[in-house]
Chain A
Amino acid sequence: GAVVSQHPSRVICKSGTSVKIECRSLDFQATTMFWYRQFPKKSLMLMATSNEGSKATYEQGVEKDKFLINHASLTLSTLTVTSAHPEDSSFYICSARGQLSGRGIGELFFGEGSRLTVL
């Protein structure tokens, strides 16, 4: 299957600093990438949808100035948590959708997730 790489897998930062998480599609071009947040023992909560070359679409209740998303190329999307606070501590997961030869349109593949801890 396709590979989506997410980096870093774990990050610890001080309150007030900004943290950038990268999501890369390694063997396909991702026309759309999604960013999720997952709380312990909960389901994935969609934060935003980003399409290459355009502004991200944020879900209701997600602060776009707090969670900056950039999808500058067909293989890379980044999520920047600005001025992080302890309540931003969470597991962040990206997924990428693209078209692979021999497979159906729009298969969705997930990264391994990034555990953010804000002290």
Chain B
Amino acid sequence: GENVEQHPSTLSVQEGDSAVIKCTYSDSASNYFPWYKQELGKGPQLIIDIRSNVGEKKDQRIAVTLNKTAKHFSLHITETQPEDSAVYFCAASIKETSGSRLTFGEGTQLTVNP
């Protein structure tokens, strides 16, 4: 089955700096890579996703890059703000298969210091 590894497990940055979280996956058939933000005591919220037919996607301060050859993808947050502090999870799945499930990374606790 799919295995997703995520690094780092914790990341502390100063407000305004950039934050980068990296994930690798094992199943070359995976074609959908979402990123979730989870605040304390709440469910994960989708913040951005990328499909395997593109290499990069950007949404304001958030961007995701995908390298299918190397089987890794990264989340980039620019101009970080204290409200970006949360746990971030990457995930991978075979999106078009009915009932296919997400395999999650172990999460990254991001702390943005004011």
Instruction: Give residues in A with beta carbon < 8 Å to B.
Output: 1, 4, 6, 31-32, 34, 41-44, 46, 49, 51, 57, 91, 93, 104-113, 115
Contact = CB atoms under 8 A, between A and B. Distances in A.
Nearest to A91: B41
Nearest to B51: A104
B23 to A, nearest CB: 12
B43 A105 contact: no
By secondary structure, the B interface counts as loop
Contacts of A51: 99
B101 A113 contact: no
For the residues of A in contact with B, the DSSP-based class is strand
Contacts of B46: 1, 107-110
Nearest to B9: A41
Contacts of B60: none
B34 A108 contact: yes
A6 B44 CA distance: 13
Given A44-B44, A44-B89, A113-B43, A106 B96 contact: yes
A21 to B, nearest CB: 12
Contacts of B41: 91, 113, 115
A43 B101 contact: no
Question: How large, as a class, is the contact surface on chain B?
Answer: 20 to 34
B102 interface: yes
Contact of A108 (B89, B102, B105): B102
A32 B107 contact: no
B106 interface: yes
Q: A1, A6, A110, A115: which has the most chain B beta carbons within 10 Å?
A: A110
Nearest to B96: A105
A42 B36 CA distance: 14
B34 A42 contact: no
Interface string B77-94: 000000000000100000
A49 B103 CA distance: 13
A93 B38 CA distance: 12
A83 to B, nearest CB: 26
B43 A42 contact: no
B49 to A, nearest CB: 9
A93 B98 CA distance: 20
